[in-house]
Amino acid sequence: MKIDIVTLFPEFFEIAFSFGPVRKCIENKNLEINLYNLRDFADSPKEVDDYQYGGGSGMVLKIEPLVRALRKLKKENSVSILFEASGITLTQKIINELSKKEHLILFCGRYKGVDERFKNYIDMEISIGDYVLSGGEPACFVFVDAISRLMPNALSHTDSLEGDSFFWGILGYPVYTRPREFEGHKVPEVLISGNHKEIERFRKREAIKKTFLIRPDLLKNLNEEEIEILEEIKKEAKNVQSKNN
């Protein structure tokens, strides 16, 4: 995969991409990342932003350098993305779909945002959450890091992906390591039993339980077995509530 990033601060990524799965993917040549300074596409280095029409505080990134950058980088197989607060919220499903693309062009907004007309030229707008960042660079890094984890040889153990939160659309199961007991808190016996079938069922149940308690909105596409587990969890929660009352 090839990823082109257009930003006012390329140096942000030089450090961010120097470790972890992203670096590994670059070293394995499964991922090519190119950084482009938006100022290089402006009439002069200082002409990347301007005041808002209609007044108001905050500068706006101009449309000309943004479109020039897009036209220089865009190919037939490209998908162009702007990191923008009003974009669709990033999910693992979107990451899975975009990880199959050959070429991504990522634009990092800054200041008050980009000229609204630029959105007519790009394919997608993505947000990573309902909060304010100083620019699109942190969101872009989150996106690239998530993409890189799905690439061949990015992780030492690829099966660890299956236990990650959101990989199957729900939160991940709880994990434990040594010691077996700490200040009265014990590792669940089933995880020490060596019974892999029971361990798998325990983990699935705990993942569904955690999702039910924290993010019930994610419990939409469960199979029959998972629905049965969820119903058991709901009954237990109801019984506990009745006892407390």
Domains observed in the chain: 2-148 (3.40.1280.10), 181-244 (1.10.1270.20)
pLDDT confidence band for 44 (50 / 70 / 90): confident
Judge whether residue 193 has pLDDT over 60.
yes
CB proximity list for 164: less than 8 A, separation 6 or greater: 172
pLDDT confidence band for 27 (50 / 70 / 90): very high
Q: What is the pLDDT of residues 49-97, one digit of tens each?
A: 999 999 999 999 999 999 999 999 999 999 999 999 889 999 999 999 9
Does the annotation place 122 within a ligand binding site?
no
Looking at residue 155, what is its pLDDT? 81
Judge whether residue 37 has pLDDT over 80.
yes
Looking at residue 243, what is its pLDDT? 81
Does the annotation place 133 within a ligand binding site?
yes
pLDDT confidence band for 157 (50 / 70 / 90): low
pLDDT confidence band for 153 (50 / 70 / 90): confident
Does the annotation place 109 within a ligand binding site?
yes
Does the annotation place 82 within a ligand binding site?
no
Q: What is the mean pLDDT of residues 139-153?
A: 95
Mean pLDDT of the chain: 92
Looking at residue 165, what is its pLDDT? 54
What percentage of the chain exceeds 70 in pLDDT?
95
pLDDT confidence band for 46 (50 / 70 / 90): confident
Does the annotation place 131 within a ligand binding site?
yes
> Model pTM?
0.85
User: 10 Å Cβ neighbour count for 118?
Assistant: 22
Judge whether residue 242 has pLDDT over 90.
no
With tokens 């601060």, the residue in question is 9
Judge whether residue 101 has pLDDT over 90.
yes
What percentage of the chain exceeds 90 in pLDDT?
83
